[in-house]
């Protein structure tokens, strides 16, 4: 089973209130179709594979606010050690939603190494709140809990995408940072 990614984003956007949402790779293309929020942060081109590391830093800095990271399985493979760091410092307010599509979608759909169990990797790294959610209804039902109960949560979501992808938005990187800090009352 799998979830249509844009449907997943619509469900998340409908439930989201004041959480910071960090997106990377194809999530940066589709999340803006369902959300335009001052606490949205486009991490594209900030460092390959490091969206969750950046989100971890945000979560540690802002313990009063939940941080949601939307990243892919290919990106996770580029920084697997981050699972260990997330487990070690365990910020209660971090929610990582791993879009599992088994490919490097952004670069042409090259397949990942088969057979990788991302939930098992996260558990093996020491992350305690790990789930695999394979259908939209279950994801929708789990969201109130994931957005309120202490984490860190690491959720593996097998996704497909049948929608055309919008072009990359080449927005100014400095302004992305400035806008988020303004939204956090820091600038």
Partner 1 sequence: MIRSVERSASAGVDAARAAATILDLGFTDLVSIPDGESRYLHRALLEAPGIDVYQPTREGEGIALAAGLWVGGRKPIVVLQNTGLMEAGDAVRGCGLGPHIPLFLLIGWRGYPGAMEGSLPIDSAYPYTEPILDAWGIPHRLLMTDDDLGVIGEMAAKAEQTSLPAAVLYGYGFRP
* Residues that bind partner 1 in the complex, under the rule CB under 8 A: 45-51, 53-62, 79, 81-82, 84-85, 88-89, 173-174, 176-177, 180-181, 184, 186
CB of residue 88 vs partner 1: minimum separation in angstroms?
8
CB of residue 31 vs partner 1: minimum separation in angstroms?
18
Nearer to partner 1, 93 or 161 (CB): 93
CB of residue 45 vs partner 1: minimum separation in angstroms?
6
Nearer to partner 1, 76 or 133 (CB): 76
Assess contact for 159 and 6: CB atoms under 8 A. Answer: no
CB of residue 20 vs partner 1: minimum separation in angstroms?
9
Nearer to partner 1, 61 or 169 (CB): 61
Nearer to partner 1, 46 or 142 (CB): 46
């Amino acid at each position: 089973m799998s979830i249509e990614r844009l449907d997943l984003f619509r469900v998340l956007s409908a439930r989201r209130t004041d959480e910071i949402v960090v997106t990377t790779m194809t999530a940066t293309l589709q999340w803006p179709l369902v959300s335009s929020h001052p606490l949205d942060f486009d991490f594209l081109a900030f460092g390959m594979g490091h969206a969750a590391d950046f989100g971890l830093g945000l979560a540690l800095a802002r313990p009063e606010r939940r941080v949601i990271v939307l990243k892919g399985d290919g990106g996770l493979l580029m920084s697997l050690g981050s699972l260990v760091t997330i487990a070690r410092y365990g910020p209660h307010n971090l929610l990582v939603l791993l879009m599992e599509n088994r490919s490097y979608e952004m670069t042409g759909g090259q397949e990942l190494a088969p057979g990788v169990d991302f939930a098992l990797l996260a558990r093996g790294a020491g992350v305690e709140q790990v789930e695999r959610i394979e259908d939209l209804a279950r994801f929708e039902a789990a969201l109130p809990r994931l957005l309120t109960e202490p984490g860190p949560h690491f959720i593996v979501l097998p996704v497909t995408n049948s929608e055309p992808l919008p072009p990359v938005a080449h927005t100014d990187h400095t302004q992305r940072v400035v806008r988020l800090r303004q939204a956090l009352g820091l600038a």
